[in-house]
Amino acid sequence: MLFAETYGIILSYNNFHLIWGLFNSVKTNGGLPVTTFTYVATDVNGKKVKGTEMAEDSVELIDKLRQKGLFCTSYKDASKNKAADVKYKFNTKDLSFFCRQLSAMLTSGVSLVKSLQILQAQSENKKQKQVLLDIYEEVQKGRSFSEAIATKPGVFPSLFVSMVSAGEVSGNLDVIMNRVSEHYAKDSKTQNKIKGAMIYPIVLLVLLLVIMVAMFTLIMPMFRDLAGDTEMPPLSQAIFGISDFMINQWYILIIVAIAIVIALRLIIKTPSTKLKWDEMLLKVPTVGKLLRTIYTARFARTMSNLFSSGLQMVDCIEKSVGTLGNTYIIKQFEDVVENVKRGEALSVAMGRINVFDGMFVSIVYVGEESGTLDTILAKSSDYYDDEADSAISRLVGLMEPVMIILMGIMVGCLLAGVFPILYSGMDGIGNS
């Protein structure tokens, strides 16, 4: 036993830069919070030892270390180092692959510790590899899988942590991991479709901007020289005024653009403004409907996975809404949660808020009445995923002609401003 502890200390010492990044881990022990401390101590031989220990307070920490034959020289609350420890964040694609591999090994009878060791060894991403190594070491020391990943806030989504915890309680971690894998695989698929659909409109927008800059900075000055002192119509004056501004005071445009970007980022980070922004997005024609469809699919899929895992209804609702990332919807669901706590049916509570469409509320009602809420939500998530795909295609199809029309309007205005100058120039040449 002493050898194992000593080996663990040596291993931690060789990776001491990882030890200091451990966070506060709060769980219950007789109703009292337990905190993770990092410490520096000396053993009976005077050797310096670094490590982590969970305790209610510093007094209990010192007592635990004394029982191990260690004299504590310094300690600190690991929660104060949260920001410094977040080195990697799993994206949906990597998380789906991780869960699928873990589920396959657990189903095959491979132990959790061995599975984590294999996944860590196979990882090609250095940061991901280090995160998995930390988790593997924590599990090897006796922590549960959920406790180990909880020491890495920001690395894993809260939904993943909840699902792992539910899987451990139910004893079906392999099944839960398979469900989580499918969940994040669908999320990754939706994200990729949105990104792919936005490529063409973005390319058109960039092309439009390039053409506009080239016209105003390269071509229009040529016509300016051609016009000479000839009196120009208001439209021509405006176009040449813009051209002169872009050529001589271009830096102002850059400063204004940077200021707008910074201002928008600051505004969106403000809770009250973020709430209004998220609400506004849901009301934008076409875009709002698409977002609601995507949110409905994600909410249904998350609710299905959590509810089938044995979590309480209130917990399922809160965690499912949290995955949407829309503060307006989260705010609306506060009333839903309170009503459900008072014993009201989820479908009735959802019917009072204007978030999801009536058909989805009816689906939830049918699931509640038939006792198959998890199954019917899973099927409805597939339906709304298909609807989201169709909506994305329609949106891209709408954006293409809009961009072309804008490009045509811009070119038309430029030609309308330049044509009188060309006409007067050609007329002057003809008269001479």
Average pLDDT over residues 213-217: 83
On whether the 174-432 domain is CATH 3.20.20.70, my answer is no
Q: Break the chain into its structural domains and give their ranges.
A: 2-85, 92-156, 174-432
Q: Could you tell me if 3 and 132 are in contact, meaning their C-beta atoms sit under 8 angstroms apart?
A: no
pLDDT in tens, 289-308: 889 999 999 999 989 888 88
Average pLDDT over residues 234-253: 82
Bridge partners, residue 40, by sequence: 50, 74
Superfamily of domain 92-156 in CATH is Type II secretion system (T2SS), domain F (1.20.81.30)
Do the two domains 92-156 and 174-432 of this chain adopt the same fold? yes
In this prediction the pTM is 0.65
Q: Could you tell me if 166 and 309 are in contact, meaning their C-beta atoms sit under 8 angstroms apart?
A: yes
- At residue 40, φ and ψ (nearest 5 deg) are -125, 125
pLDDT in tens, 307-357: 888 788 888 898 888 888 888 998 999 899 999 999 999 999 998 888 888
Eight-state DSSP code of residue 17: H
Q: Which residues of 280-308 are buried (b: 16+ CB within 10 A; e: fewer)?
A: eebeeeeeebbbbbbbbbbbbbbbbbbbb
- The whole-number pLDDT of residue 23 equals 32
For 375, the 3-state DSSP assignment is helix
pLDDT in tens, 63-119: 787 788 777 766 676 655 444 454 678 888 888 999 999 999 999 999 998 999 899
- The whole-number pLDDT of residue 265 equals 82
DSSP state string for 249-312 = SHHHHHHHHHHHHHHHHHHHHSHHHHHHHHHHHHHSTTHHHHHHHHHHHHHHHHHHHHHHTT--
pLDDT in tens, 372-402: 998 999 899 989 988 888 888 887 777 778 8
